[in-house]
Amino acid sequence: MAKDTYHETVKTALIKDGWKITDDPLRLKVASRTLYVDLGAKKLLAAEKEGLLIAVEIKSFLGASLINNLEQALGQYIIYSQILSQQAPERLLYLAIPESVFSDFFSEELPQSVIQFNRVKLLVFQPETEEIVQWIP
């Protein structure tokens, strides 16, 4: 399985933000098929013993077409969301994207509309500093 360009960057950003990586990758099995979400992570909260669980699909948006990149990312997000809702409903799925992609492309009407309609949760990260700059539930 090929890792996204920013795989280690997002992993480091999550750790810096207080998350513990639980799966790298997070394996989902449906019948004879196995799919892999890039990362699984857990954050213990003061009031909870269980903590918060997330799954993170990382996308660089470095391909030739931003629209094609969006189509692929959205397709994976929808498939993974459905499987997680059945197999691990306590785990929230996030799509991790670089801050520059968020400000330059995701500010446009089409990506915003698609993200809102499909209720895509975003994790926006800064590649140079390896930090999470925004969580969009």
Token pair recorded at residue 9: 């960057």
- Residue whose token pair is 């969301």: 81
Task: Please tell me the pTM assigned to this model.
Answer: 0.94
The answer, yes or no, to whether the previous bond of 111 is cis (omega within 30 of 0) is no
Q: Indicate the DSSP class of residue 11.
A: H
- Per-residue pLDDT of 69-119, as tens digits, reads 999 999 999 999 999 999 999 999 999 999 999 999 999 999 999 999 999
Integer Cα distance of 3 and 12 in angstroms: 14
30-57 pLDDT per residue, tens: 999 999 999 999 997 766 566 899 999 9
User: Residue 93 forms beta bridges with which residues?
Assistant: 55
pLDDT for the residue 44: 79
pLDDT at 134 over 90: yes
Can you list the alpha helix ranges (DSSP code H) found in 40-98?
66-87
Beta strand pairing status for 52-58 and 91-98?
parallel
pLDDT digits over 2-36, tens only?
A: 678 999 999 999 999 999 999 999 999 999 999 99
| Confidence at residue 47, expressed as pLDDT on a 0 to 100 scale | 62
7-126+128-132 has CATH 3.40.1350.10 classification: yes
Domain coordinates of the chain in residue numbers? 7-126+128-132
Q: What is the pLDDT of residue 53?
A: 94
Say if strands 52-58 and 39-43 run parallel, antiparallel, or are unpaired: antiparallel
Residues with Cβ within 8 Å of residue 88, at least 6 apart in sequence: 53, 55
pLDDT, residue 45, reads 73
Asked whether the beta carbons of 10 and 58 are under 8 A apart, the reply is yes
Distance (Å, whole) CA 93 – CA 85: 10
